[in-house]
Amino acid sequence: MAHARVRKGARTASPSSGARRHKYVYAFANGKAEGSSALRHLLGGKGCELAEMTNLGVTVPPGFTITTEAWAAYSAGGRKHPAGLWEQVLAALARLEAAVGLKLGDPARPLLVSVRSGARASMPGMMDTVLNLGLNDRTVLGLARWTKNERFAWDCYRRFITIFGDVVLGIDRHAFDELLDRAKAQAGARSDADLQREPLKALVAEFKRLVQARTGKAFPQDPVEQLRLAVSAVFDSWFAKKAVDYRRIHRLPDDWGTAVTVMAMVFGNLGETSGTGVCFTRDPSSGERRFFGEFLVNAQGEDVVAGIRTPQPIAALKESMPKVYDELVAIKDRLERHYRDMQDIEFTVQEGRLFILQTRSGKRTAGAAVRIAVEMLKEGLFDDRRIKESSERREKSIHTALLRVEPSSLNQLLVKTVDPKAKYTAIAQGLAATPAAAVGKVVFDPEKAVEMALREEQVILVRAETSPEDVAGMHAAQGVLTSRGGLTSHAAVVARGWGKSCVVGAGDVVVDEESRLFRAGRTVVREGQVVTLNGATGEVVMGALPLVDPTLSPEFEKVLEWAGKVSTTKVRANADTPEDAAKAREFKAVGIGLVRTEHMFFKADRIAIVREMIMSRDEQARRKAVDSLLPFQREDFIGIFTAMHGFPVTIRLLDPPLHEFLPKYKEVLEEYTRLDALGINPARHQELGAIRARIEALQEANPMLGHRGCRLGITFPEIYEMQVRAIMEAACEVAKRGVRVEPPEIMIPLTGTVEEMKLTREMTERVARQTVSDMGVKVGHSVGTMIEVPRAALIADELAQHAEFFSFGTNDLTQMTFGYSRDDIGKFLPFYLEHKLLPSDPFAVLDQEGVGEMIRIGIERGRKTVPKLKVGICGEHGGEPSSVEFCHDVGMDYVSCSPYMVPIAWLASAHAQIKQPRRAEGHTSGRASRSRPRA
C-alpha cells in the first residue's frame, strides 16, 4: 500500500508522463542487476535473489522482474496493465535478447522464457508459472534444429500449450490430459516420456484444435502477445481461490501482491556437457558441513522429478565436468557466506556453462538445524562486523543461531521415532498425539498391561478411550492407541506428559474388548499381536518397525544453554512423581510449575484407601482414610523435593471430583443388573449395590463444572489439611537431610471467589505453621491460586491481595471461556477445523483472541494491586511455541509444561525475547488488554 501510494503521488505530480517515469521493471543480466535482496517487497523472493546473485557475479540466466507495484497498479486499475509498463517490459526484453544473443520469435534460434510468480513470502504451489514461452508453429522447428532434438522441441511445445491453456486461457487442464492419455493409449506408451515425435506433433495439432474450440480463437502465435497474456495471468493468479485461502490461513496481507520474473530458459539436455542438479551447502539431514547434492547429465529438471533416471551424487560432477564442479563449489561457498545460512541451490549446465536458477535457505531436519546453528556460530558466520563491542556481537550471534532453530521441530529430537529408512504400510490412521513411536503387543485391559509389563513385555494399550482409571495401565504400556478422542483427550494429555507414544481418535479402529481384538478396515488385530504406533504421523502398523533413540547432542545442549540465558520467561515442568522431576531437570527445567497430587491417588497401593475415603458415611471414617493416605503423599513429595534440590516446586491440591476415583458406573450398573436379574452371588450383589448407590449420589451432569477443586477442599477440609501437612512434613524432612529445599508453593485449584481464596489460604497457613512447629525445622511456604475459571481473571485485582502467585490453568480456562468440554470437543472439532470455523484446536494452541484476552485481563488486574505478582501458566499450552510467545508477551514469569516439552518451551521463550525484548525480572503486563490480533 505504501508503494501504491507513492506511485499515485507520482502520477498526480505529472499526469501525462508520471506513470511512464515510474520504474516497473528491474533487469538482471551479465553480472549487473538493478535489484537486490533488499527489494524483496518489490521483486518477490525469487526475483530479488536472482538480482542479488547477478550482482554477486554468479551466473544466472538473464531476465527481468516486474514489480509488485506494477501488480498493485494493475489490480487497482481494473486488471489493466498500467501505462508505461509494457514499454518497460519490451525494453527489458530487448536487453535480455541482446544478453543471450537470441530473439523471442526468431525462427532460427528462438529465445524461450519462463514467466514466474514470486511474492514477498513463499507461497508454495499457490500461484502460476509459465515455462517455454516463445514457442509457436515456426519457432518449434527452429528449436528442434538448434537442439538437434525434434522430440524434445515438440514435447516442449505440447507442454507449453497445456500450461498456457490452463494458466492463461483458463481451459481446464483435464481436457489436455484426456487427449494426452488417448494419444498414449493409441501409441502404446506407458509414460509421457515414451511418446515419440510423431504422436507428439499430432497431439500439438489436437491441442491447438482444443484451444480453438474452447476459446473461439487460434492458439496465439505471436510470442510478444503470449508474454503479455502470461504476465497478466500471473498477476491474476494472486486472486485465485487457493491463493486467497492460503493467505487467510497464514495471515498474509492481501495487498502485498506478486512480482513476475521473466527469465531466459536454459536447457540441461543438450548433450553430455549439459545437465541439471540440486545441491545443499551442508547435509540437510545431519547438518554436517559437507557439500551435498544430486546431478543428472543431459537432463532437465522435470526428468529428475519424474524419477526416470537415478541422479548421481554431486561428487560425480567432479569427474565429468571438473571445471563446472569447481565453479559450483566456489559459488555455493560464496552464497552460504553471503546469506549466512545453509542454501538449497538449483542449477543447470548448458553445454558446459553453469547457470544458477535459484537459491534459498534450505529445509533441514531439527537435528541438522541445531548442528548448523551451533557450527555456523563457531565459524563466525553470524558475526556482525558492524558491531564493535565483542560481547554485544557475541550476543547478536547467539540470537541469530537461536532463531535458526524452529522450536516445534525439536519434538523430533526428544523421543524414540520410527527409523526414517523403514518402509511400511499403515493399517489405520489416527491423530498424531505425541511424536514418539512405540512397538508392543496389543492389550485391551489396563490391568493386563500392568501385569505384562511386570513380566518385562512391551505392550500397546488399545482402548476406545481412556479414563483416569486406566492411568496405571497407560504408564505400564509403551504406547496408547484410542479410537475416540481428540488431541487433548485424556489419553493424549497423559501420554504427552510422559513423552509416551500415543495415537488417538483412530476412527477406523473398532475395539471389541470382549473378543479381545480390534478391527482396522479388513485387518483384525488380536491381543498379543505386535503393532507399531508412529506417534509422529498417527499411523498404526502391523509388526515391529525399527525405532531410533533420541539423543541430546552436545549442540542441542549448547542451544538450550543459550536459550536459558536469553529467556526472560523461564521454563518449569509439570511433574507428578520423583521420576518426572528427574526428567524435568535433565531437560533443564528450572522448577516444577505443577504437581498434580491426584495422580498419586491412582497408584495401586492407594486407590483402595481413596475409595474407602469416598465410601465413608461419616466424617470420622473419612478422616481415618484420609490420614492413612498421608504417609504416601509425604513420600512422593520427599522424592520430588529431593530431585529438585533447591529449584521451586508448585503443588496443586486435589482437583478432580471424587467420582473419578470410583469404578466406572456403566460396568458397575451392568454387573449389578445382571446379578440382580439372575438372582446369583448375593454378597457381590450387595457390595455392588452399595458402590452403585455411592456413585449415583456423587454423579454429576457436568463434572467439569461440578464439585471439584477448592470446592471439594472447602467442603471436605480434611483432604486439603492432610495434603498441606504432607507437603510441609516432606519439605522439613528433606531440609533435615541437608538437601536444599525452596519454600513449597501451595496452589489452590479452581478458585472463583475471594472468599474461597481467603478460607483456603487461612487453612493452609494454619496447617503449615503447625506442621513446621511440630517438625522443628524452619521451612517457609507460599500460597497461590490457579486462574482457571473466567471469574477469577475478572476479580484478579482482589484475588491478588490474597494469593502470592497466579498460575493460569489454560486447559480449564479454555474450556470455560469457549464453553468447550475437552472430552467432548471431538464431536465437532474436526468439522470446525475443516471448515475454518477455528484456526486450530484451542486445547493445543492457545486461543489468543479469547482465552488470551481473559489472561491479559487477569494479569493486568492482578498486577494493578500487586505489581510484582508472580505469574505463570501450567496448562498444556505451556509447551506450544506460539502460546509460549504469547506468555512472554503478556509478561509471565514462567511457563510450565511436560518435561518432554521443556526444551521446546525454552527455545520458544528465547525467540520471543529476541523478537520482543523484555527486561529480565521486569513485571510488565506486556501488551495492554484489547490489543489482541484481528482475524
> What is the contact surface with a second copy in residues (CB under 8 A)?
666, 669-670, 673-674, 676-678, 700-707, 711, 714-715, 750, 752-756, 759, 788-791, 794-795, 798, 812, 815-821, 823-824, 827-828, 831-832, 835-838, 847, 849-851, 853-854, 934-935
Q: Is 502 helix (H, G, I), strand (E, B) or coil?
A: strand
DSSP class of residue 38 equals G
Residue 745 parent element (H or E): strand 745-748
CA 923/CA 189 separation, integer angstroms? 71
Cell numbers given for 78 = 481494473
Q: Which is nearer to a second copy, 745 or 847 (CB)?
A: 847
Residues 6+ apart with CB under 8 A from 890: 852, 855, 856, 859, 925, 926, 927
Q: Which is nearer to a second copy, 304 or 792 (CB)?
A: 792
Q: Which is nearer to a second copy, 331 or 857 (CB)?
A: 857
| Helix ranges, 487-603 (H) | 490-498, 554-566, 578-586
CA 875/CA 859 separation, integer angstroms? 16
Neighbours of 33 (CB within 10 A): 26
Cell numbers given for 572 = 518449569
CA 930/CA 640 separation, integer angstroms? 40
CA 482/CA 484 separation, integer angstroms? 6
Cell numbers given for 329 = 563449489
CA 884/CA 904 separation, integer angstroms? 9
CB 792 within 8 A of CB 754: no
Residue 48, CA distances (Å) to 26, 42, 341, 614, 773 in order: 9, 8, 17, 70, 72
> Beta strand 437-443 with 258-264: parallel, antiparallel or unpaired?
unpaired
Q: Which is nearer to a second copy, 610 or 793 (CB)?
A: 793
Instruction: Give buried/exposed letters for 844-854 (b at 16+ CB in 10 A, else e).
Output: bbbbbeebbbb
For residue 399, indicate whether it is catalytic.
Answer: no
Indicate the residue type of 854: M
For residue 490, indicate whether it is catalytic.
Answer: yes
Instruction: Dump the DSSP string for 238-306.
Output: GGSHHHHHHHHHHT--TTS-EEEEEEE---S-SSTT-EEEEEESS-TTT--SS-EEEEEET--HHHHHH
Instruction: Give buried/exposed letters for 319-335 (b at 16+ CB in 10 A, else e).
Output: eebeebbebbbebbebb
Neighbours of 71 (CB within 10 A): 28
Neighbours of 712 (CB within 10 A): 21
CB 255 → a second copy: shortest distance, Å?
21
Residue 569: exposure state from Cβ atoms within 10 A (0-12, 13-18, ≥19): buried
Cell numbers given for 532 = 507399531
Check 48, 710, 874, 897 and give the catalytic one.
874
Check 22, 81, 399, 490 and give the catalytic one.
490
Cell numbers 520504474 label which residue?
23
Neighbours of 895 (CB within 10 A): 33
Indicate the residue type of 558: K
> Beta strand 258-264 with 275-280: parallel, antiparallel or unpaired?
unpaired
Neighbours of 575 (CB within 10 A): 29
Cell numbers given for 708 = 471439584
CB 832 → a second copy: shortest distance, Å?
8
Q: Is 224 helix (H, G, I), strand (E, B) or coil?
A: helix
DSSP class of residue 190 equals S
CA 812/CA 90 separation, integer angstroms? 63
Cell numbers given for 666 = 456403566
Q: Is 935 helix (H, G, I), strand (E, B) or coil?
A: coil
Q: Which of 402, 407, 394 is nearest to 366 (CA)?
A: 407
- Which residues of 336-482 form beta strands (DSSP E)? 343-350, 353-361, 417-418, 428-429, 431-432, 437-443, 459-463, 479-482
**Catalytically annotated residues:** 490, 874
